[in-house]
Every structure is written in structure tokens, then in C-alpha cells.
Amino acid sequence: MSKLIIGYGNPYRQDDGVAWHILQELSGRLDIPAAAPFEQGFLPASQPVDLWSVLQIVPEMAEQIAQYERVCFVDAHTGIVPEDVSVSEVIAEYSSSPLTHHLTPSALLSITNALYSVNPRALLVSIRGYEFGFIESLSERTKKLVPLATDRIMSFINSNSDA
């Protein structure tokens, strides 16, 4: 079963880049070579599980997503979500945004379904960010959440049910 983990956020904005750090942790656990610091793109492609690091999700990603049966989106949240590490199913559903550079995983899956008639099973793993300064390292509180989030993603990778 083909699986794709998409980590998005800005690694130069402290905890906003937590997804990149989680992809690095996953590459170690999955014995996939790690990318260079803050490299975007596949880490590498054509593995049993593909890892993809991007600054933000965009409609053009639909073509790649259509090639997978299961997709896990990984991002930071700022505290609106009550859990430090939240795992939720993503349903393909179009939603407009008042922001010009904002696309949700649900909207991206909706685009994927509309263009390619496929609907991969998807999860969103969202990790609490505490500090969003202009530095490349995570805050101590968010850094402590990386192993837990990685465990949840590994459950998704290793099973046919939710993490």
C-alpha cells in the first residue's frame, strides 16, 4: 500500500517547522536517508513510504497525491486545538479561504478527487507550537512532542487503521 507523509510549515520560524523535524525523525526510524537541513521535496522518492517536505500545501500537489492510497499531513497548530498532538481524519471537502495563500488538506484532497477521481485515505497530525520566532530550532516544549507525533505517524504507516 503506497503511503505519503507530507510535512509542511516554515522551518525558519521555530515551531512552525516542527513537521520538518518529524520527517527527519521518520527518516531515521524508516531507515530512509535524511535530507539536507531544511531541504524541500521528497526525502527521497520511491520508498515504501515517501516523505515530502514543503513550506505550504498548494493545488499543484494533487497530481502527486493521486498516486498514493494513504496520505498523512503533518503541521503545527497554535493552541486552538486542545491536544498537544492531534490526529484527525481528513475528508475531501472544498472550503474557500479568506487568505490567498492558504489551502487546507481537505481542500487539497477535494482537488485531487475532482481532477483524478481518486480519494486517498488521509490523516492530519497537528503538533502544538509555542514559539514562532525567526530561528531554526524548536522550542523545548514542542521538541518534546516530536517523538509522540512520530509514534502516531508510525502507527498510521504500519497499520490499515487510524493512528
Per-residue pLDDT of 139-159, as tens digits, reads: 999 999 999 999 999 999 998
| 75: Cα within 13 Å, side-chain hemisphere | 17
Hey, where are the domains in the chain? 3-158
> Does pLDDT of 18 surpass 60?
yes
Task: Check residue 38 and give left, alpha or beta (phi > 0: left; psi -120 to 50: alpha).
Answer: left
Torsion 71-62-102-16 (CA) sign: positive
Q: Each residue of 90-135: pLDDT tens digit?
A: 999 877 655 555 799 999 999 999 999 999 999 999 999 999 999 9
User: What pTM value is reported for the model?
Assistant: 0.91
Q: Each residue of 45-75: pLDDT tens digit?
A: 567 789 998 999 999 999 999 999 999 999 9
Q: Each residue of 27-42: pLDDT tens digit?
A: 999 988 766 656 666 5
The overall average pLDDT reported for the chain is 88
CATH superfamily of 3-158: HybD-like (3.40.50.1450)
Chain centroid to CA 145:
15
